[in-house]
Structures are given as structure tokens and as C-alpha cells.
Amino acid sequence: MATFIVLLGPPGVGKGTQAEVIAETTGLPHVSSGDLFRENIKNATELGTLAQTYMNKGELVPDDVTIAMIRERLSKPDCKEGALLDGYPRTVVQAEALEKLLAEFDGKVDYVPYITAAEATLIERLSGRWTCKAEGHIFHEKYNPPKLAGICDLDGSELYQRDDDKAETVIRRIQVYLTLTAPLIAYYRERGILSEINGAQPIDKVSADLLAVLGK
């Protein structure tokens, strides 16, 4: 039976950081909608050009294109045993679409770890984040610094700061999260699959709590 995990939580709470750990432990592919959009931007595709106009403003990319992109990704053979979804779904419309899509594969969302932290913590984390150009590996100048400044420990590629981590865009992303994504907390709680995780702890402690929720 396939296992689908949805990592829920505000921008900067540590979804991508924890997804790297969970993916390694469970062997499930890490499917990040934000990473897929950034890959499209890097490859200058039509989807990338469209997505960038929304991402730069901290707004959500429209549901129809986002749902189609995830449908394509989850249809790939490596997702047969399940996937670890990071940043998707982000609206109730996307959550309903995911339910229908997984039903086509005889699957369902099994776990929804919901990671929380105060807004000031999110802002501090995003302002100090450095991301690897090749694979999107994530560092923080204070909390998870690379061994060599500006260089990814894992693949040696250059680290950069995301355009949407500018202070004004971060504020907008948090507002958008509270308006459009936070309703998913009740949506998944009602289905009995939501587990709240305290994200305001060191990275390894959050990982341990997450893996415990997943029974690992």
C-alpha cells in the first residue's frame, strides 16, 4: 500500500529541511511544488515564466496549473509507493483535487504533520536561508551553516538567497498562507490525520518528533 504524506506549515517553518530527512529515512520521493516551479523557471519553460510572476509577489500560482503539474509528477513511476508532498496542497481546491487524484491510484493522504512556529521565527529563518543552485539543499547562516560559506556541503554547488525571501515578499507569503492555506488545518483535522509538531525546536528535535508521528 502506498504512503502519501503532506507536510503542512507556514513559509520558513522547515518543511523543505525536514522533507530531506524524511525522504532519506522512508525512501519516499520528495515532491515540492515550490522546487518544481523553480526548476521550470531555471529551464525557462512557459510554466516557469507564468509561475515566476506570482512567486515574485508572494502570491499563489493559480490552482489549475498547480494541480496539473502535481498530477504529472505523481503519475511518474517513482511515486508508485507514495510520496512526501511539501508545499502542496495549499488551498482547499488543491486538497480536494489531491484526494481525487490519489483515489485514482487507490491511495489517500495518510499523514499530515503540521509544523508550527511563531511569525518572528519564520522571518528570521527566511532572512538567513541559503539554498543550493543545483538541488535546492537548504542551509541557514546561523542554524545550519554550510562548512564553507556560499558552497553546498552536499554537492559543492553555489548557494543563493531566494528572490521571494525579501522582507516584503515574506510578509505577503505569510498573509497568503493565513488566508488560503490555514483552512487546511481544519480540513485535515476533521479527517483525523493531522498531527501538530512544534517547529520551534532545533532541526534534529523536529525530525525526531516527525519520524515518531510517522511511526519511524
* Contact string 14-33 vs Mg ion (x = CB under 5 A): --x-----------------
185 near ligand AP5, rule: CB under 6 A: no
Based on the residue annotation, tell me whether 73 is a catalytic residue of this protein: no
107 binds, among Mg ion, ligand AP5, none (CB under 5 to 8 A by kind): none
- The CB-of-34 to Mg ion minimum distance in angstroms stands at 5
Is 125 among the catalytic positions? no
Catalytic residue of the set 57, 133, 162, 189: 162
Count residues near ligand AP5 (CB under 6 A): 38
- Please identify, using beta-carbon distances, which residue of 48 and 193 lies nearer to ligand AP5: 48
Minimum gap (Å) between residue 86 Cβ and Mg ion: 6
Please state, in angstroms and rounded to a whole number, the distance separating the CA atoms of residues 214 and 186. Answer: 20
Residues that bind Mg ion (CB under 5 A): 16
Please give the positions annotated as active site.
15, 90, 129, 162, 173
Residues that bind ligand AP5 (CB under 6 A): 9, 11-17, 33-34, 37, 54-55, 58-61, 66, 87-88, 90, 94, 125-126, 128-129, 138-140, 143-144, 164, 173, 199, 201-203, 206
